[in-house]
Structure 1
Amino acid sequence: MSDHIQQAAEHRKGLLITAFGGLALTIDIPLIKLSEGEAWSVVATRGGMTFFAALVMWAGLRLFTSNRDPIIPGRTGLLVTGLYGIAAISFMLAVFHTTTANLVFILAFNPMFAALMGWLLIGERPKPQTFVAMAAMIVGVALIVSDGLQAGNMIGNGLALFTSLLLSLIITISRKARTGMGFAPLIAAIVPCLVGLVIIGGPGGIVLPHPGWLALNGLIVIPIAFWCLATGPKYISGPEVAMFYLLETILAPVWMWLIFSEAPTRLGLIGGAIIVTALVAHSLWQLSAHRRAVRSLAPRHPL
């Protein structure tokens, strides 16, 4: 009975941590846009700030707590960190090459990719309901991509799809490792920072009209969001972690509409609605199935 209670408590802990991270992530793109910076300047500055915040957080944990976990846990941690670095670059470039709505709708493919990765790498075969949801989402992404072809932002849509694939792979590897990866995406921020600095010719080439917004993003919002999201797989399944990326899918376009009056196109909105509907339905089914499985493991009274 104690094992069951502990398992349930850890699952709730994972859900709360990951939900908080997903909620914080919803204001990432609006803060990037508010800085009004040149693309590679934003990539370099945001990455450098996030890397600095990670070092401060890690030093604080070692100084004020008994936590002595390595900042990057072994070879798997190095792999995850490298993949996060690549994903950070592709995500930032997608921000500047497609609409926010298209970007987050395509990133919402994350749970489906996570399910496929779990099948290939961990042996967790997706249920028939997952395949149905995937089919619906493919239709939604096809509508968004066709709309992007007409609008001339196919590069941005492609980068968004690549980022979603990488994030799903990262979540699956982290889930298989079952170890704390909270600092991996934060340390990985040094990769886009260095790439951006090389491209703009050093710190002197940085163009940021409103750096305060980016400082809020890179020093506070992103470290908190990605630490929570990267810690989630230690306690809950990959598809469950990926589900909380949906908060950005739903809320980021709302913030962009309220702040910048950036409304999605008709086809983009239809495709996004199909994706979100399929994901919400699938996620609710998955959570229900998980709860039934946990309850079935609970010891029953003999009478």
Structure 2
Amino acid sequence: MFPTALSDHRKGLLLTAIGGLALSMDIPLVRLGDGDIWSILGIRSAATILATLVILGAMRLASGKWPVLIPGRAGLFAGLLYGLSSLTFVLSVFNTATANVVFIVAFNPMFAALLSWIFLKEKPQAATLIAMLFMIFGVGLIVREGLASGHIFGDAMALLSALILAAAITIGRGSRREMGFVPLLAAILPAALGLAQALPLGFSIAHPGWILLNGAIMMPVAFWCLATGPRYLSAPEVGMFYLLETVLAPIWVWLIFAETPATMTLVGGGILVTAIAGHCFWMVREKSIRQPAE
């Protein structure tokens, strides 16, 4: 039984690592598309839905049966949350700096820890609570910078996105059901909203190929991997793989657009990354100590 548990944990780590890496390309591809918010939201989400339908059709032909799409009420609720998180995330990208978005969204694992504590009775360890305090301080510095630069709405949307994602992850963890297709099908909500707003005036995207690449390939990979991860990992562990986006997205944006984050954003982001990385290291160390004993 122990080798199976270890294998599942490694599977969860691999899935969430791939998901976090794919997610780190989201903001750069949205920026490369160069369009208005509703056109990008609608096309990006519609591409995700079409890609999902193609994948489902291929799986149906290969296995002769449909995979689990929406596992009960938990799946419906999680899907609603994933759909809302797409909307709040794109709103944050268009209303604040990239570094602000990814650093604030990195608060996701701490929200996940709190929600798991409240609803799943998975009490966080002392190290998690300490990391949470440092992360609150780091987010406070970034939001303070947002207030000074007039980006408070974008920062608030990023923080709301982190909370909504953490809630969706926690539901997946609590249900122990297959949630891989839930966030993909949940793209129906932002697609409908974006298309309803964009169609009357016409689409406005300078380079739609980047948006199609993002919606049809990168987002399905990211969301499927990150939604499947809670079957094998705890909600805070899954949330921590969003750290890949936190670290990599500002680097991609800096390399492509030469956008340098504000000083306080870098300071707050450095505190966030250090707190999460330190917490990850501590969790891995504790697990390696406990396993031989068990």
Alpha-carbon shift at residue 106 of structure 1 (Å): 0.3
Alpha-carbon shift at residue 52 of structure 1 (Å): 1.0
User: Are residues 1:236 and 2:233 paired?
Assistant: yes
Distance 1:212 1:13, change over 3 A: same
CA distance in structure 1 between the partners assigned to 2:30 and 2:198 by the alignment: 18
CA distance in structure 1 between the partners assigned to 2:192 and 2:151 by the alignment: 26
**Partner residue of 1:292 out of 281, 286, 289:** 289
Alpha-carbon shift at residue 287 of structure 1 (Å): 2.2
**Residue pair 2:56, 2:66 contacting (<8 A) in 1 also:** no
CA deviations over 1:104-157 (Å, ceiling 9, x no partner): 000110111111111001101111111111111111111101100111110000
Alpha-carbon shift at residue 289 of structure 1 (Å): 2.0
**Partner residue of 1:154 out of 152, 163, 170:** 152
Residue type at the aligned position of 2:238? V
Residues 30-41 of structure 1 correspond to what in structure 2 (within 5 A)?
Answer: 30-41=28-39
Distance 1:98 1:235, change over 3 A: same
Alpha-carbon shift at residue 68 of structure 1 (Å): 3.8
CA distance in structure 2 between the partners assigned to 1:67 and 1:247 by the alignment: 35
Structure 1 residue ranges, 4+ long, deviating more than 4 angstroms after superposition: none
What's the % identity of the aligned pairs?
A: 49
TM-score by length of 2: 0.97
CA distance in structure 2 between the partners assigned to 1:248 and 1:34 by the alignment: 17
- Unmatched 5+ residue regions in structure 2? none
Residues 255-266 of structure 1 correspond to what in structure 2 (within 5 A)?
Answer: 255-266=252-263
TM-score by length of 1: 0.94
User: Are residues 1:167 and 2:150 paired?
Assistant: no
Alpha-carbon shift at residue 54 of structure 1 (Å): 1.0
Match of 1:145 in 2: 143
Match of 1:210 in 2: 207
**Residue pair 1:72, 1:184 contacting (<8 A) in 2 also:** yes
CA distance in structure 2 between the partners assigned to 1:124 and 1:265 by the alignment: 37
Alpha-carbon shift at residue 95 of structure 1 (Å): 0.6
CA distance in structure 1 between the partners assigned to 2:252 and 2:29 by the alignment: 10
Alpha-carbon shift at residue 67 of structure 1 (Å): 5.9
Residues 72-151 of structure 1 correspond to what in structure 2 (within 5 A)?
Answer: 72-151=70-149
Residues 260-275 of structure 1 correspond to what in structure 2 (within 5 A)?
Answer: 260-275=257-272
CA distance in structure 2 between the partners assigned to 1:205 and 1:247 by the alignment: 35
Alpha-carbon shift at residue 254 of structure 1 (Å): 0.2
**Residue pair 2:112, 2:167 contacting (<8 A) in 1 also:** yes
RMSD across aligned positions (CA): 1.2
Residues 177-188 of structure 1 correspond to what in structure 2 (within 5 A)?
Answer: 177-188=175-186
**Partner residue of 1:250 out of 223, 247, 251:** 247
CA distance in structure 2 between the partners assigned to 1:84 and 1:100 by the alignment: 20
CA distance in structure 2 between the partners assigned to 1:97 and 1:62 by the alignment: 41
CA distance in structure 1 between the partners assigned to 2:126 and 2:69 by the alignment: 39
Distance 1:152 1:237, change over 3 A: same
Residue type at the aligned position of 2:138? G
CA deviations over 1:37-81 (Å, ceiling 9, x no partner): 111110111011101111111221121136643211111111111
**Residue pair 1:106, 1:161 contacting (<8 A) in 2 also:** yes
CA distance in structure 2 between the partners assigned to 1:116 and 1:36 by the alignment: 37
Match of 1:301 in 2: none
Q: Matched residue of 2:95: which SS?
A: coil
